[in-house]
Amino acid sequence: MLKRIFLTVLAAVLLASQAKAQDALGPMQTILQANAEIIVKSSRKTIQPAIDAVAGSGLPQAQSVLEAWQAKDMWRRKADGLFFRAEKADGGYRLIDFDSGEVVGVAEKGDLKQIKPNSGIRALIGTALVTFQLNDPDRVKREEALTSLERDANAALLEPLRASIEAEPDPDLKARKLRLERLLTISYDPDEATRIAAIEDMAGDLGVDVRAALNPLVATKLRVFEGTPPADVNVARLLKPGSDALPREEAYALLSDAGLAPPRVTPEAVRAALAEHIEGGTVAGVAVTALSDPAKRVEAYRALADRGLVPPYLAEDEISAALSAYSFAEVYAEPSPAVTDAAEAALARINTKVGLNQALDLGLDALSLGSIYFLAAIGLAITFGVMGVINMAHGEFIMMGAYTGYVVQQLIPNHTASIAVAIPLAFLVTFSAGVVLERLVIRHLYNRPLETLLATFGISIALQQLFKNIFGTQARPLTSPDWLGGAWVLNDVVSISYIRIAIFVLALLFLGLFLFIMKRTRLGLETRAVTQNPGMAAAMGINPGRVNMLTFGLGSGIAGIAGVAIGLFAKVTSELGADYIVQSFMTVVVGGVGNIWGTLLGAGLIGSLQKGIEWLNPSNTLAAQTYMIIFIIIFIQFRPRGIIALKGRAAGD
C-alpha cells in the first residue's frame, strides 16, 4: 500500500515538473518542439505542417525564425532538444533564443545539430516568408521581396501579394504590386472571369512581362486522338495528315511515337534487313538477283516479318488506314477556351501596338543616324558644296577632333569639363589645320577637281599614318559624362540613348549657327558673294583668297567638333574619319551641293534608308551598305543635282 502511494506521488511530481518545464518554454519554442521530429527529418514531403505552424502562429518572432531556418542558421541543442539561432563565437557557437532574442549561452559544435533544409524546403520557407516580407516595416525588405516575386512567382504567392497591396504606403511599390498581382492573376487565379478581366486590363500594355504571361496561354501542342477530340479539350485547330501544316510522315511518326501504330519501315531499313538475312543466295525464298525489283524486296521482307525476324512492313494503304482512324489537333495548354480567346485578342492588340512602336523606334534610330551624318557632312557642305573643293581629307579632320577630345580627357579627368574644353579646342585645332591645308595645297588647285582629289587623298593617308604613329593602332576611349549615360526609355519597345539625343541637339545647334553665319555675318555675305560671282566680288573689294581660306577653315573646324561628338559613342582610331567620309559625300551630293537645307534632307534620307535596309536585312550590314550605294547611284541618275539644286557658280560649272 505504501509503495503504491509513493509511486503515485512520484508520478504526480514528475508530471508537475514536466508541465512547469513546458510552461517555461516560450511560445515559439513550444511550436518548434511540437514539430521537432519533422523539422529534424527535413523532408520536403512532410515539412509543410511545421512551416505552416510557424508562419501561422501570429507571433512577431515568426519571420526571424523562418529566415534563420531558410539561411541554415537554426541549430538544435542535443542535451535538451531546444532550437536556437546560432552564431560563431570564441569557444563555439553563441545561442540566441527565438522568443526573447537574447543570448542564452555558448555551446560547442559537437553539442549542437545544424538544421540544413534542402533547396526544396528553402523554397517552401521562402513562400511562407513572402507574407511577412511584403508587409515588413523596412521598405528595402519589401522591395527585395517584391523583386524576388517578380523573378520567380507561383500560385501560392498570389494571395499573400494581394493581402499586402492595400496597406502598402509607398506609391512606387504599390504600383509594382498591383501590376504583379494582375500578371499572377492571369497565370494562376482559379476563377475564369477574374483571369479574363486581368487579361483585358493588361491588353494595351507593351511590357515584356505581359507578353510572357499571355504567351503560355496560347501555346499549343500537337496531339493525336482516337476519333474526334474530347469535348473538354481546348482545340486550337484540327490538322489533316498530308497538309502543309502536318506532312503525312510526321503524322504517322506521331502515331508510332505514341505506341498507336507500328514504326514505319524505310526503304533503307528494308535493304539492310534483307542484307542481314541472305542464306544460300536467297532471302526468305526470294533470289538475291531478283531483289533489284522493289516488289520482290517487299515480298522478301514481308516473308521475314511473317517469321518474326523483322518488324512488320506497312503498305501505303495500311498507313492511310491507320491515319484515318485518328484525328490530329493542335491543343492549347490552357484548358479554358474563354481564357485563350481573351489572351489571343490581347496579344493581337499588343502586337499591333508593338509594330507601331517598332516603326517609331526605327524612325528615331534613322533620325539619330541622320543627325550623325549631318554633323559629319556639314563641314563638307561648306568646303565641297560652297567652294567646290573635293577634300578627301575631311574624314581626317573628324578623326583629328576626336583625338583632341581624347587628349583633353587625359589632362582633365572630369568628363563634363573635358568635353566642354574639347569642343572649342577641337574647333581651333582643326580650323588651324584647315587653314594650313588651304594655304599650302588647296589654293593652288582651285578649279582643278581631279588634282585636288588626288592631293587631299594623299594627305588623308599621310594624316592617318601620322596619328597611328602618335597614338598607336589601339582604339582610344572618349568617355561621355555620366549624365549622358543610359537611354530615354519610352516603353519596352522604344528607347534612344542620351548620347544620340545630345548629338541630334548638337546638329540642330550647328544648323542654326551655319545659317546665322551665312545670313547674318560679314563672312557669310562675302562667302555667298564669292560663290555666286568671284570676279564681281573681287571688284567690290572682297578678297576671294581670304574668304576661301576662312571658309575652308570653318568647314574643317566644324568637322573637328563633329569628331568629338562621334568619338563619344565610337572608338577613336586613325580610321575613324574614313568610316564617315563616304556617307558625308553622299549626304552632300544627294541633298544638293552647296545647300545646307539639302544637306539636312540628304542626311535624313540616307539615315532612314540605311536603317530601313538594316531592318529588312539585319544579319548583313555590308549588304545594307551596298544596297544603299546602289540606291544613291540610281537616285543621282534621275536627279543629278540632288534634292535641292544649287544656284550660282557651282551650278554653272
CA 185 to chain centre: 26
What pTM was estimated for this model as a whole?
A: 0.68
Q: pLDDT at position 9, please?
A: 43
Q: pLDDT at position 620, please?
A: 62
Mean pLDDT of 305-320: 80
pLDDT tens-digit map of 170-186: 999 999 999 999 999 99
Share above pLDDT 90 across residues of the chain, in percent, rounded to a whole number: 18
Q: pLDDT at position 341, please?
A: 93
Q: pLDDT at position 411, please?
A: 92
> From 2.40.360, 1.25.40, 3.90.120, 1.10.3470, which CATH number describes the 354-652 domain?
1.10.3470
pLDDT tens-digit map of 188-219: 999 999 999 999 999 888 888 899 899 999 99
Q: pLDDT at position 24, please?
A: 65
Q: pLDDT at position 274, please?
A: 82
Amino acid occupying residue 327? S
Amino acid occupying residue 114? Q
- How far is it, in rounded angstroms, from Cα 523 to Cα 535? 17
Quickly state the pLDDT bin for 648 (edges 50, 70, 90).
very low
Write 154-159 long-range contacts (CB < 8 A, 24+): 154/127, 154/188, 155/184, 155/187, 155/188, 156/127, 157/127, 157/130, 157/184, 158/184, 158/185, 158/188, 158/189
- Which spans in 521-648 are helix H? 522-532, 534-539, 544-567, 578-591, 596-616, 621-638
Instruction: Report which of residues 632 and 99 the model is more confident about.
Output: 99
- How far is it, in rounded angstroms, from Cα 350 to Cα 211? 8
Mean pLDDT of 352-377: 86
Mean pLDDT of 417-432: 93
Share above pLDDT 70 across residues of the chain, in percent, rounded to a whole number: 93
pLDDT tens-digit map of 560-619: 988 998 888 888 898 888 878 888 888 888 877 667 788 888 888 888 888 888 887 766
Residue 528 confidence (pLDDT) above 70: yes
Instruction: Spell out the domain ranges in the chain.
Output: 2-122, 134-218, 354-652
CA 410 to chain centre: 33
